[in-house]
Amino acid sequence: MSKLTTMREAIAAYVHDGDTVAIEGFTACICFAAAHEIIRQGRRDLVLCRMTPDLVYDQMVAAGCARKLVFSYLGNPGVGPLHAIRRAVEKGIPNPLELEEYSHFGMVARYIAGAYRLPFFPLRSYVGSDLPKVNPRIQFVESPYGDGPVAVVPPLNPDVAIIHAQRADVHGNTQLWGLLGAQKEVAFAARHVIVVVEEIVDEEVIRSDPNRTLIPGLIVDAVVHEPYGAHPSYVQGYYDRDNDFYLRWDEISRDEAATRAWLEEWVYGVRDRAEYVEKMGRETWERLRPTQAWSKPVNYG
Amino acid sequence: MGDYTPSEMMIVAAARALAGVRTVFVGVGLPNIACNLAQRTVAPNLELVYESGVYGARPRRLPLSIGDPALITGALSVCSMADLFGLYLQGGRLEVAFLGGAQIDRFGNLNTTVIGDYAHPKVRLPGSGGACEIAIHAKQVFIIMRLSRRSFVERLDFLTSPGHLSGRGERERLGMPGQGPQLVVTDKCIFRFDAETGEMVLVSLHPGVRLEDVRAEMCWDPRVSSDLTETEPPTPEELRLLREELDPLGVYRS
């Protein structure tokens, strides 16, 4: 059965006020198209989970969608702070924002615990750090095998995970390459999964290269075909990261009114991603066209 | 004194420290360019490892972030972050990791979380990223930071990533696998750490820098090695690589 649907329908069906939402993707494959649709549909009080909140959550926080962030690195990578999130944390604009903070490995471990349906996951981290003092969910337990204390973190099971990838079939069998982030772990941890892809391919394309399938259709609820849906982040082999926009957002987001004006023009002011893509213009997509670097085929016979 | 900036001296000194090293965990910004320079000079077999999940990167241009697409093209392996942190880092496969921070103390403990009180910070910084576990597991940690009184502080506002903690073998007692910070490269000088006390020791001044210049930029009076040396200035080839190949726009060099 085809799970192909539109972004509007997928968000309406699987993202509700108060939900715990994870739009993952480490630098690459961050689904801004889904974030913008969530903003357009006016969701509120979301608990937003991501290792690196990035511009995607800065925009959602600026739009008033979130009440809490669960994260491990809060910044515009290589550029500076996330100004909208800082305004929310420091001044409660547009509404107060609670922070729950881990390290990267801690966040990954939370997704693994969630995906494996374990009560916690152990990791050798946090010893000597102040992080456990400000986050009581980071605990230490004594190893039953006599190896001393080990840090543990609780499972993170989002209500919905939104995964951006290169391609999937209509059943949601999804192939992703380049940076994998924690996309597989968060998908298996989530109660519902929306997959958003650059290309819909036949099942036989997926079956021709099964090692590349990161997420099976088994756990996918909805498949959305949304070319350029990860812009201004990137999709390996499809388009490069729009570093200019990451720099520009630093300017825009410093100012509350400019941030609102940007959201007005680029999120509320467009119907959907297709209109955003058209409005960005051909020269943007030409500028972001990646180099060619094809892998050699392998024999699965 | 040659024609180069303090930042160029800092990057070159950090790159040279990687001579003979096989695996390095690369951070954002200055460590990124230092490791890429090392790969082209003193450590041609150096495998660059990025927390984004890249092992053995051969970037054709200087990556702008640790998740840059240029790191993936031609890499030896790209894996999940679970594998990167679990198998490579916690598995003990990484020799050197570069870290930096907003604040450092005399034991090489680092703060990248907040300036001021955690609940009501004066400045909210990015937080740990992978730094907390990297500081625990990498066999050696090299730190690259500009010297200033704001950064080299008596007491951290928040301890994000453990260095030698309170010194005198506290890391070992807590069972940390890595040896902790071994080197701090700044724009003015180089520090190493006393093996017994775990405290930072000034070992080298960059050309033209005086001891009082260093003291003026630190909140504590640093211990000074009995054989304090002068850092070798950058060679023409190191400067050429930096200026023409790695950072033609001068983003990191000013």
Task: Say if residue A105 is exposed, middle or buried (CB neighbours under 10 Å; 0-12, 13-18, 19+).
Answer: buried
CB B181 within 8 A of CB B143: yes
What is the token pair recorded at B223?
Answer: 């211990």
Q: What is the mean pLDDT of residues B41-52?
A: 95
pLDDT at B249: 83
Among B74, B124, B130, beta carbon nearest to A86: B124
A107 three-class SS? helix
Average pLDDT, rounded, for chain B: 94
Chain A 23-42, residues with CB within 8 Å of chain B CB atoms: 26-28
What are B54's strand-pairing partners? B50, B78
**Helix spans in B17-49 (H):** 30-40
Comparing alpha-carbon positions, the chain A residue that sits nearest to B72 is A178
Determine whether B51 is an active site residue. Answer: yes
pLDDT tens digits along B67-86: 999 999 999 999 999 999 99
Taking the mean position of all CA atoms in its chain, how far away is CA A266? Answer: 19
pLDDT at A1: 87
**Which residues from chain A sit within 8 angstroms of residue B132, using beta carbons?**
103, 105-106, 125-126, 129, 131
Looking at the complex, report in whole angstroms how far the Cα of residue B58 sits from the nearest Cα belonging to chain A.
Answer: 14
Structure ipTM: 0.96
Domains along chain B with CATH numbers: 6-98+130-144+161-246 (3.40.1080.10)
CA distance A136 to A71: 15
Residue position matching structure tokens 């937003």: A48
Task: Specify the DSSP element, H or E, that contains B7.
Answer: helix B6-16
Reply yes or no on whether the pLDDT at B1 is more than 60: no
Contact A185 B82 (CB under 8 A): yes
Comparing alpha-carbon positions, the chain A residue that sits nearest to B27 is A78
pLDDT tens digits along B191-231: 999 999 999 999 999 999 999 999 999 999 999 999 999 99
What is the token pair recorded at B139?
Answer: 């066999």
pLDDT tens digits along B139-175: 999 999 999 999 999 999 999 999 999 999 999 999 9
**Which residues from chain A sit within 8 angstroms of residue B109, using beta carbons?**
128
| Length of chain A, in residues | 301
CA distance B107 to B162: 9
pLDDT at B89: 97
Q: What is the mean pLDDT of residues B97-107?
A: 96
For residue A237, the domain's CATH number is 3.40.1080.10
Contact A129 B160 (CB under 8 A): yes
Task: Place B247 in a pLDDT band, splitting at 50, 70 and 90.
Answer: confident
Contact A108 B73 (CB under 8 A): no
Q: CB count, 10 Å around CB of A64?
A: 17
Pairing relationship of beta strands B181-185 and A139-142 according to DSSP bridges? unpaired
Percent of chain B residues topping a pLDDT of 70: 99
CB B26 within 8 A of CB B45: no
Pairing relationship of beta strands B140-144 and B121-124 according to DSSP bridges? unpaired
Task: Place B2 in a pLDDT band, splitting at 50, 70 and 90.
Answer: low
Is position A13 within any domain? yes
What is the total count of domains within chain A? 1
Is position A96 within any domain? yes
Instruction: Give the amino acid at B205.
Output: L
Give me the phi and psi of A151, to 5 degrees please.
Answer: -70, 145
Q: Show the beta-strand stretches assigned E in A145-295.
A: 149-153, 160-168, 174-175, 192-200, 213-215, 222-225
Reply yes or no on whether the pLDDT at B62 is more than 90: no
**Which residues from chain A sit within 8 angstroms of residue B69, using beta carbons?**
28, 178, 234, 236, 240-241, 290
Of the residues A131, A133, A179, A289, the best mutation for testing chain B's interface (the one with the most B CB atoms within 10 Å of its CB) is: A179
CB A186 within 8 A of CB A194: no
State the residue range of the domain holding A234: 4-102+157-287
Least confident of A18-22, A236-240, B31-35, B96-100: B31-35
pLDDT per 10-residue tile (average), chain A, 301 residues: 97 98 98 98 98 98 98 92 94 95 98 98 98 98 93 98 98 98 98 98 98 98 98 98 96 98 98 98 97 96 97
